[in-house]
Amino acid sequence: MIETAIISSYFNLIQILGDHEMRLLLRAIASSLVFFSLHAFAQGDAAAGQGKSAICAACHGVDGNSVVPNWPKLAGQHQEYLIRQTHLIKDGARPVPEMMGITPGLSDQDILDITAYFTAQKNSGGVADESKVVVGERIYRAGNAESGVPACMSCHGPAGEGNPLAGYPVVAGQHALYVANMLTRFRQGEHWGDDDHLSKIMNGSASELTNEEIEAVASYIQGLYRNTD
């Protein structure tokens, strides 16, 4: 069941979160149950989405594999996650200046179609910097017990595949520059509104990361390979 999968995913964090983060976690469980009950059967027309996605291509690439590392790859991302983020941007909760002139013109059906198209595409993958693999792998798979940084894989999976039922995105193959930028912003306290508890959980997860750890784990994530065959 969806509820069981969500709660099981969050259970991995219970022993590493403080009281404040724990309260956010419980609220996130409740909001996730509501959100994913609404979008569990999200569909959309990928063929129609291909044509509509032309407005996204300049930044995210024709097939969702952005060439410029400032912009995230969308190819192969969970549709539920893409829907959620698009609505956050459209509603003004997640500030993305480059999309301010785009999302207001998207209908709910447009969003379903475009996200269906990008979800159906294959992520082009990436390569990690060998000099950063040791530290990056340690943070991703074990975290840092001394500083209280949780393992990234506890939510995003051992291969970076994420968890669509719990709202955790695919991270495998994502641009290191984009990942490092987002982790830095989360560490600084950026979140996307009181109703988006998952971004607040990222605030807690990234709060004790050092610059070296951010660069290393971002590089490691870029080199992760998600088998979609």
What angle do helix axes 2-11 and 19-39 make, rounded to 10 degrees?
160
- Residue 141 banded pLDDT, cuts 50, 70, 90: very high
Q: What is 1-40+125-229's CATH superfamily?
A: Cytochrome c-like domain (1.10.760.10)
The closest alpha carbon to 163, from 41, 36, 74, belongs to 36
Mean pLDDT of 26-52: 68
Judged by DSSP in three states, 223 sits in: helix
Ranges assigned E (strand) in 85-182? none
- Residue 108 banded pLDDT, cuts 50, 70, 90: very high
For 205-220, what is each residue's pLDDT tens digit? 999 999 999 999 999 9
**Residue 181 pLDDT:** 98
Count Cβ neighbours within 10 Å for each residue of 65-102 and write b for 16 or more, e otherwise: bbeebebbbbbbbbbbbbbbbbbbbbeebbebeebeeb
Domain ranges of the chain: 1-40+125-229, 46-120
**Residue 225 pLDDT:** 81
Residue 177 structure tokens: 């520059």
- Residue 42 banded pLDDT, cuts 50, 70, 90: confident
> In which residue are the tokens 């785009």 written?
102
User: Residue 161 above 50 pLDDT?
Assistant: yes
Determine the Cα–Cα distance for residues 10 and 111; give it in Å rounded to an integer: 28
For 49-69, what is each residue's pLDDT tens digit? 999 999 999 999 999 999 999
DSSP single-letter state for residue 144: B
DSSP collapsed to 3 states, 172-209: CCCCHHHHHHHHHHHHCCCCCCCCCHHHHHHHHHHCCC
For 176-189, what is each residue's pLDDT tens digit? 999 999 999 999 99
Mean pLDDT of 7-31: 52
Q: From 3.30.930.10, 1.25.40.80, 1.10.760.10, 3.40.50.410, which CATH number describes the 46-120 domain?
A: 1.10.760.10
Main-chain phi, psi angles of 28, to 5 degrees: -65, -35
Tell me the pTM.
Answer: 0.83
Distance of CA 35 to the CA centre of its chain: 16
